Amino acid sequence: MTEFQSLLSITRLKVSQSELVEANECLLRCIRKYEQIRSLLKGNSEFEISLLEICGTFPYQLLTNLLCCTGKFRDALYAEELGRARVLAGFMADKYSLESHFTTDPQSWSGIEKSVKTESNSVFLYVSYRERQVLLWVLKGNGDIFFRAIDEVDIDTLIAEQVCDVEGVFKKSAAGFGVLPEENCEDRSLNDNVTTSLHEKSRANVRGDETKDTERTHQLCYKWIVAPVADLLTEPEIIIVPDRFLYRVPFAALRDKSAGKYLSEKYRIRIIPSLTTLRLIQECPADYHSPTGALVVGDPTVGKVHYNGRLTNITPLFHANKEAEMVGRLLGVQPLSGSRATKQAVLQAIPSVSLIHLAAHGNAERGEIALSPQSTTNGIPQEEDYLLTLSEIQGVQVQAKLVVLSCCHSGRGLVKKEGIIGIARAFLASGARSVLVASWAIEDEATAKLMEHFYEHLVGGESASESLHQAVQWLRSNGFPKPSQWAPFVLMGDNVTFDFTKKGNEELKEDNNEAEKEQSHD
């Protein structure tokens, strides 16, 4: 670590002296040393993430800046990629039995372009930010890479927003959508104190409407992220690679004020943690993901349990139950709900299905989902009896092409330099090809309609990205005009399609029946 810090200090000195060639050489040595330290920690993800927090992404960002200064924008993109979702990529490579070839050796950098070329009708928007500047790369399917950077944001703009840097604006961008009125939205978030819901904590400042402050914040996000490259976004889908707190930005709700259109009106929108993670998904064995079957879980009966060191009563979710029934009808499967939705039954079913739908209490920050305890004969259930944790999700072999997390704030998590650490990431790390998540709580009627139309299009053979796009368009045109009502759901990962054959559904019904029989014997 001492050598790493010394090399970094020398690099800074060379940059201050405008000796960019020497600075570049020294910085590459510095990064190689960091990668050497990181390789010694392989297999311990917590230490790897902690190392990145300690050392930061500064060396990668500095290399990016140096390469941009010399006009090497393509290489600058690859340098930026070195700091993106590396631990997640390692998990995925292990699940798929693949090698993650992306290294500090420039010879390995060209491999990530393959993922771009295989995405038809899509354009990639790769975003990075510094204290007062946003860097943008647009990648086209024909191999073209365009780079643009906004001018440094002036201090007066930041002061007006009561923030210190552009990151502060990104943090605020979804704040106005955090919680909806309790009468319109049951709280599916699993808080440290479930009896004191997010609704009660935030009732004073949130009614589900887009305030003037929120609208102004969104306009800044559009100005910094979309407007500089708007002329390059010529395909029907934008695949966004966010940086840190950019995961909080509601891209679907960003609007071109002059045209009056939201970004999601013009484009399908998809998120990926990095180009490397998408390449790993695309290169996974063709027979890895299950071709048929669905697991639908709704409103597990939890009740009085030990949670986070105290007794808590986790209340039923009426609308989640109704949602699961509706999804089950569309897919032709029997949902696991109530007391049947046990942790054991869910873990048993996960590896064998192509689609997973979870409508339950969840804690995005801790990466947990509350399921029904197997038995209460030994007293009040402990956390291990009913909580599906991040480590358990990552430990199981998920072979689903799509996981739908219909839990409040399932797209949220702890924002680290590695990326966002939460439930969605855990499913991707476990082998899921794509995950549909919610960035904030959405009112019950809007959720029901969105899910209904999403699954109708999905069952009809359309892709997940197109199905979400069509469902959002329907909401916006049929009595749900507010962004808070239609903008929270985001598709992360690959764009998948399904063939819901009768054979596949019948097999799943048999599997569910067997699972129920086993539970009755326990």
Q: Provide the mean pLDDT of the chain.
A: 81
Q: What is the pTM of this model?
A: 0.85
**Distance separating alpha carbons of residues 164 and 154, to the nearest angstrom:** 11
pLDDT recorded at residue 203: 36
pLDDT classification of 310: cutoffs 50, 70, 90: confident
pLDDT recorded at residue 200: 36
Whether the predicted pLDDT of 379 surpasses 90 = no
Which has more pLDDT, 100 or 340? 340
Q: Give the single-character DSSP code of 229.
A: G
Which has more pLDDT, 164 or 23? 164
Q: What is the average per-residue pLDDT within 182-207?
A: 43
291-315 burial, b at 16+ Cβ within 10 Å, e below that, comes to ebbbbbbbbbbbbebbbeeeebebe
Residues contacting residue 168 through CB under 8 Å, at least 6 positions apart: 158, 161, 162
pLDDT recorded at residue 194: 39
Q: What are phi and psi of 171, to 5 degrees?
A: -60, -35
The pLDDT tens digits for 396-423 are 989 999 999 987 555 566 676 666 767 8
Look at 248-257, 310-319, 333-342, 428-437 and tell me which has the smallest mean pLDDT.
310-319
72, 78 contact by CB (below 8 A):
no
Which has more pLDDT, 504 or 52? 52
| DSSP per residue, 461-473 | T--HHHHHHHHHH
In order of 95, 156, 334, the CA distances from 152 in angstroms are 41, 12, 55
Tokens describing residue 302: 């939890």
Range ranked top by mean pLDDT from 63-67, 495-499, 518-522? 495-499
pLDDT recorded at residue 8: 73
CA atoms within 13 A on the CB side of 430: 26
pLDDT classification of 504: cutoffs 50, 70, 90: very low
Whether the predicted pLDDT of 173 surpasses 60 = yes
% pLDDT > 70, the chain: 79
Tokens describing residue 400: 């689903």
